[in-house]
Structure 1
Amino acid sequence: MPITPHDLVVEAKSQIKEVTCDEAMSLLGKRVVLDVREYDEFAAGHLPGAINIPRGVLEFKIGMVPEAAPRDASLLIYCRTSGRAALSAVQLHRLGYGDVVSMSGGFDQWSSEQRPTEKPEPINFE
């Protein structure tokens, strides 16, 4: 019997460590913060200091980000609601990253709690 995407997320969440938004807030500045949403989602707002590597290219691009490339890097991952982050955390563990946590509730919950966010600076061509 085929499984659903929801089943994949539930399975992933059983294999990873999740932290609350309160816990994630205390980890800012202590971990590399990875936003695995698409660029347009990231551009609309993101956690302070977050680096954007969309879920679809994470395994290929993480090694290109100096802060996140070392396998002993401490990572905090999030997405919109926590599904993509959970799947990402599992894959990063498979790639040898040992210190990965995922933020439960994702950016939606973070925003609803009116926590600090940032937006990328627009490109100035002048």
Structure 2
Amino acid sequence: MSEVPTISVQDIPDDAVVLDVREDDEWQAGHAPGAVHIPMGDVPSRLGELPEEEPLPVICRSGGRSLRTVQWLVQQGFDVVNVEGGMRAWGGAEKKMVADSGGEPTVI
């Protein structure tokens, strides 16, 4: 298997557009302010909704789902990168997050 392109959270601007492939409850608890939410299982049917950002950072909670999503999207010809450590690393780096609930954003 070829090397999967990755990026660290420190190399992503706080206002960057990222593709968040976590489930609805995870998204609602806390996400990057510039994120677009498409759960991993919905990505194949929603390719037309992918942001034009190139390379597009793809993020999940810890990096596993986004890794698989990046592998698949690369095979489809997309310019994407996996965010190392996912939202756990994002939160650990104290990068800005927002919550749909209006409460304190968290990574679940």
TM over 0.5: yes
Does the Cα contact within 8 Å between 1:19 and 1:103 map onto a contact in 2?
A: yes
Alpha-carbon distance, 1:44 to partner: 0.4
Match of 2:42 among 34, 53, 57: 57
TM-score in terms of structure 1 length: 0.71
Equivalent residues of 1:59, 1:91 under 8 A apart:
no
* 2:106 aligned residue: none
CA distance in 2, matches of 1:15, 1:113: 25
Query: Counterpart of 1:25?
Result: 13
Equivalent in the alignment of 2:86? 106
Residue type of the partner of 1:45?
G
Distance 1:22 1:39 in 2: 25
Tell me if the contact between 1:82 and 1:104 (Cα under 8 Å) persists in the aligned partners. Answer: yes
Aligned to 2:21: 36
Q: Cα offset for 1:121?
A: 6.2
Residue type matched to 2:22 in 1?
A: R
Matched, 1:117 2:97: yes
CA contact (8 A) 1:77 1:101 kept: yes
Is 1:78 matched with 2:59? yes
Q: Which of structures 1 and 2 has the larger relative contact order (alpha carbons within 8 angstroms, sep 6+)?
A: 2
Root mean square deviation of aligned Cα: 2.0
Q: Secondary structure at the match of 2:88?
A: helix
Which residue of 72, 87, 93 corresponds with 2:68?
Answer: 87
* Poorly superposed stretches of 4+, deviation over 6 Å: none
Residues in 2 aligned to 1:49 and 1:119: alpha-carbon distance in whole angstroms:
12
Partner of 2:32: 47
How many pairs align?
Answer: 101
1:62 and 1:33 mapped to 2: Cα distance?
14
Question: Aligned partners of 2:77, 2:101: CA distance in 1, in Å?
Answer: 33
Matched residue type, 2:59: Y
Instruction: Note the residue ranges of structure 2 that are not aligned, 5 or more in a row.
Output: 103-108
